[in-house]
Chain A
Amino acid sequence: MPASLLEEIGDLTLEHLFLVIVTMLIAATLGIPGGILLTRHAMVRQWALGVISAVQTIPSLALFGFLIPLPFLGGIGKSTAIIALVLYALLPIVQNTVTGIVGVDRVVRESAIAMGLTPRQLLTEIELPLAARTILTGLRIATVTTIGTATIAAAIGAGGLGVFIFRGLASVDATLLLAGAIPAATMAIVLDRGLEWVVQRSSPVS
C-alpha cells in the first residue's frame, strides 16, 4: 500500500470523525432539551415525533438532494451534509429522551413532587438520572447511524470516508472501496461498543 494512500486514509478518517462529532453535538444539543420539552407538552409530542420520524423515512441520498437547492442552508459541501445528518440523528435522541422520562415510575415522580421538589429539581434529581440509560442508548444509536449515513454525504462534497467508496465504485477498484469501508466499519464498531460501555456504567438501576 503506498504511503500516500495511508496518509489519505488518515485524513479522510479524521474528516469523517469530524462530521460525526459535529453532527452529534448539534443533534444532542437540540434533541435532549427538545425531548424534555416534549414530555411537558403531550399535545405537541405526537405531532413532533411524527414529523421527526417522517424525516427519517426519506432515503438519505434523496434528503441530500432536497437540501442542495435550498437557499442559505443548501448547496454543496459540509454544512448541507451536517444539516441532513442532524435531521437523521434527531429521532433516536428525541424519542429515547421522551421514552426515558415518561417511563419514570409514577409513584416515584409523585412522591418527589409531594416532597416539595421544584420542577427543575424533579428533572435534575429524579427524571434525568433515571432516564440516563435510555437517553445514552439513543445517543449510541444515533452515532452509529450517523457514521453510516456520513459515507453517503461524500456524494454532495462533504468529504469523509465515503470519498474512497464513491471513487472505488467509479473505478471498480476494490482497494479503494476497502480503504473507505474498513475504517468506517471499525469506527462504527468501536464507538458502538464504547458508548455501550458508558451506558452499562451510567446508572445502578435498570
Chain B
Amino acid sequence: MSPLVSFRNVSVRLGSRDILHNITFDVEAGETLVLLGRSGSGKTTALKLINALLHPSAGEVLVEGMRTTAWDPIRLRRRIGYVIQEGGLFPHFTIANNVGLIPRLEGWPDEEVAARIESLLTQVGLPPKEFVARYPRELSGGQRQRVGVARALAADPHLLLFDEPFGAVDPVTRVELQRQFLSLRRQYGKTALFVTHDLREALAIGTRIGLLHNGRLEVLTTPAEFQYAQSEEAQAFLAALNPQNLNA
C-alpha cells in the first residue's frame, strides 16, 4: 500500500527565507509521526502543506498518492481532521454544533449527526447531556481541547493533523489529554501527524519522531532510538529534559 502522506524534496520559500528545505519523508497508515522542533523550525508549515493551506515552492506533497495541488482543496480538507491550540472552536456555536458542523455540511441526516456528536463527546470524556448545549467560553482549556479532538474525528477522517494542540493547557491536564490521545489511537487506529516543541510529549505519543531544525529534517527515528541521534539539535532537546542542566 502506498504511504498516506509523502513529502518529496519539499521546500517552502517565503521571500528570500527558506522555511522548509528539501524535506523528504513518508507517513504510513496507522502511525503517529511527531514533528518536533523549536518555534520557527518549520513544523507548522509542514503540517499546512498537507491540507493545502500552503503549497510547496519546490517538490511535492502527496496525500493518498495524489499531489495536494491536484486535489480539490475542500474535498482534501474534509478527509483530514485538524486540531489546533485551544481547539480553534467557533465561539458562536454550541459544543454540539461545533462537533457536528462538517457532518451537517456533508449532508448527514440530523439523527445521524446527533448520534455521532453523542458518541464522540462520550469518547473524549465529556458527558453529552452536560455539554451539548454549552458554548466554548463556558469550558476550561482542557475541555475545549477535548471538543477540538471530537470535532476533528466527526466526519471519520483518514488522517489527523495536530498543531501543538496541548500547548495552552496546564501540565497535569496535558498528560490527561496525551493519555486520551493514546486511547483514541488504540480504538480508531487513525494516522496522525502531531506537531510539538515538547520532546517529552513526542516520546510519549509518537511512533516516530522527525526533528526539524531551521527548516531541515535532521532526524527521523523511533522514540527508542532518538537518544542516539547524531544531531546537536537532538542532543539539545535531550539536555533540556533534565533540569540539572540549568546549573551547568
Q: Which residues on the A side are within 8 Å of B135 (C-beta)?
A: 204-205
| Min C-beta distance of B145 to chain A, whole Å | 13
Contact check, B78 vs A108: say whether CB atoms are below 8 A apart: no
Knowing A116-B74, A116-B78, A121-B105, the reply to whether A111 touches B92 (Cβ < 8 A) is no
List the A residue with the shortest CB-CB distance to B82. A114
| Min C-beta distance of B77 to chain A, whole Å | 3
Knowing A114-B77, A205-B137, the reply to whether A129 touches B92 (Cβ < 8 A) is yes
Total cross-chain contacts (CB, 8 A): 58
A112 at interface by CB-CB < 8 Å = yes
List the A residue with the shortest CB-CB distance to B88. A111
A117 at interface by CB-CB < 8 Å = yes
| Min C-beta distance of B204 to chain A, whole Å | 25
What 0/1 pattern do residues 80 to 91 of B give for CB contact below 8 A with A? 101011111111
What 0/1 pattern do residues 32 to 64 of A give for CB contact below 8 A with B? 000000000000000000000000000000000
B186 at interface by CB-CB < 8 Å = no
Contact check, B88 vs A130: say whether CB atoms are below 8 A apart: no
A173 at interface by CB-CB < 8 Å = no
The one of A107, A113, A121, A204 in contact with B92, judged by C-beta atoms closer than 8 angstroms, is A204
The one of B75, B85, B87 in contact with A116, judged by C-beta atoms closer than 8 angstroms, is B75
| Min C-beta distance of A168 to chain B, whole Å | 49
Q: Which residues on the B side are within 8 Å of A118 (C-beta)?
A: 74
CA distance A116 to B50 in the complex (A): 13
What 0/1 pattern do residues 108 to 152 of B give for CB contact below 8 A with A? 000000000000000000000000000101000000000000010
| Min C-beta distance of A82 to chain B, whole Å | 35
Contact check, B90 vs A112: say whether CB atoms are below 8 A apart: yes
CA distance A61 to B143 in the complex (A): 58
Contact check, A108 vs B91: say whether CB atoms are below 8 A apart: yes
CA distance A110 to B161 in the complex (A): 14
The one of B53, B86, B92 in contact with A110, judged by C-beta atoms closer than 8 angstroms, is B53
Q: Which residues on the A side are within 8 Å of B89 (C-beta)?
A: 108, 111
**DSSP class of A's interface residues: helix, strand, loop or mixed?**
helix
A70 at interface by CB-CB < 8 Å = no
| Min C-beta distance of B72 to chain A, whole Å | 10
A115 at interface by CB-CB < 8 Å = yes
CA distance A111 to B151 in the complex (A): 11
CA distance A57 to B208 in the complex (A): 63
B220 at interface by CB-CB < 8 Å = no
B102 at interface by CB-CB < 8 Å = yes
Knowing A107-B84, A121-B105, A205-B137, the reply to whether A114 touches B90 (Cβ < 8 A) is no
Contact check, A115 vs B84: say whether CB atoms are below 8 A apart: no
B29 at interface by CB-CB < 8 Å = no
Contact check, A205 vs B88: say whether CB atoms are below 8 A apart: no
CA distance A204 to B94 in the complex (A): 10
What 0/1 pattern do residues 94 to 124 of A give for CB contact below 8 A with B? 0000000000010110111111111001000
Contact check, A107 vs B53: say whether CB atoms are below 8 A apart: no
List the A residue with the shortest CB-CB distance to B51. A114
A187 at interface by CB-CB < 8 Å = no
Knowing A115-B82, A205-B137, the reply to whether A126 touches B51 (Cβ < 8 A) is no
| Min C-beta distance of A90 to chain B, whole Å | 27
B205 at interface by CB-CB < 8 Å = no
Q: Which residues on the A side are within 8 Å of B101 (C-beta)?
A: 115, 125
Interface centre among A110, A111, A129, A205 (most CB of B within 10 A): A111
CA distance A111 to B82 in the complex (A): 7
Contact check, B74 vs A114: say whether CB atoms are below 8 A apart: no
Knowing A116-B75, A118-B74, the reply to whether A130 touches B91 (Cβ < 8 A) is yes
A residues lining the B interface (CB < 8 Å): 105, 107-108, 110-118, 121, 125-126, 129-130, 203-205
Q: Which 9 A-B pairs have the closest CB atoms?
A: A111-B88, A116-B77, A116-B78, A114-B82, A205-B91, A107-B88, A129-B92, A116-B74, A205-B92
Can you list 22 contacts pairing A with B, beta carbon distance less than 8 Å? A107-B86, A108-B88, A110-B88, A111-B82, A111-B89, A113-B53, A114-B51, A115-B77, A115-B101, A115-B151, A116-B74, A116-B75, A116-B77, A116-B78, A116-B80, A116-B102, A117-B105, A121-B105, A129-B92, A130-B92, A204-B92, A205-B137
